Amino acid sequence: MNGKIINTLNIILRTAGCKWARKSGCSMCGYINSSTYNVTKDNLINQFEKAYSKYKKDRSFCVKIFNSGSFFDEKEVPEEVIKYIVKKIKDDARVELLSVESRPEYIRKSKIEKITDTLSNFEVGIGLETVNNNIREECINKNFSYNDFLDGVKKINTLGGNVKSYLLLKPPFLTEKESLIDGISSIKALNKLDISKISINPCNVQKGTIVNEMFKSNEYRPPWLWSLVEILKKAHKSKSDIDVISDPVGGGKKRGIHNCGNCDKDVLNAIKYYSLNQDISVLEGLNCECKNTWTKILEKEDDTHQLLGTTYLE
């Protein structure tokens, strides 16, 4: 953060969950399975307090709040809860940043303004997933457009907040090569915007999702770590002021981003180091025999991929 590494307190609030997930949902997201209808304002405040109290250190830190949906959806996080959280953070001189997440449709001037008028450093993460509208709608079922995202970014920037954009590496129905191309082109487009950082989320297999059903039928493999390394290297070469980072969930496991198993730990450690330090040299020296397999897959899979081909990349 601002060129330095500081501690982060991640707080996960168990809320009623994402409204879109209850109606239809994204093809890869199973977080709704951990949500609950039976949650009150007091319960959410108690959840926050219990997690917040665990940070005992005197040095500064960031607070990241995840609620598996949208922080600005009143049905998930009521106004009174937001007000309580913001005041708590304002009164704690150790906190340098509050980071939350939201879909674009809940990003309203009145909600953002109340926070940016109180806190000097505030960030909203938006799960854009890709700049390609076809992929976002047909493969991910995200139910918002790139223009909706841009509108959200404008509102947040205008009111003094920062935006972190999440990109999804290898949505279902795309080949490894297509997902690689989409990731690189998405970063290239986002580099032109006023956002604070880009976070690449490699798709992992979660229960109760379309991706899970495809995985069980051997129709989906999570992305290779080599693809993520390649995207990070390409992003670094076209370096802007926007840091590109990644903290893979389930990395090195069958249901998460992985290589052959022998090199996974080393590659994941390198990705983590790069994300913290933006030092490209840690990625340059990576190698393993399985990299040849990955290269061959990129070369050959388009010959047998008849479902989508490059349709959605146009």
- In the prediction, which pLDDT does 303 show? 60
Q: Looking at the chain, how many residues does it have?
A: 314
Residue 105 included in any domain: yes
- In the prediction, which pLDDT does 304 show? 55
d(CA 312, CA 314): 6
Residue 2 included in any domain: no
More confident residue, 3 or 221: 221
pLDDT tens readout for residues 245-282: 999 999 999 999 999 999 999 999 999 999 999 999 99
pLDDT tens readout for residues 41-79: 999 999 999 999 999 999 999 999 999 899 999 999 999
d(CA 308, CA 15): 36
pLDDT tens readout for residues 172-195: 999 999 999 999 999 999 999 999
| Structural domain span for residue 214 | 7-313
Instruction: Give me the sign of the Cα torsion angle 186, 216, 253, 30.
Output: positive
Q: Report the candidate in 262, 267, 235, 236 with the shortest Cα–Cα distance to residue 251.
A: 267
Domain count, the chain: 1
pLDDT(313) > 60: no
CATH, residue 137: 3.20.20.70
Residue 236 included in any domain: yes
Residue 1 included in any domain: no
Residue 261 included in any domain: yes
d(CA 42, CA 122): 24
Name 197's bridge partners. Answer: 164, 243
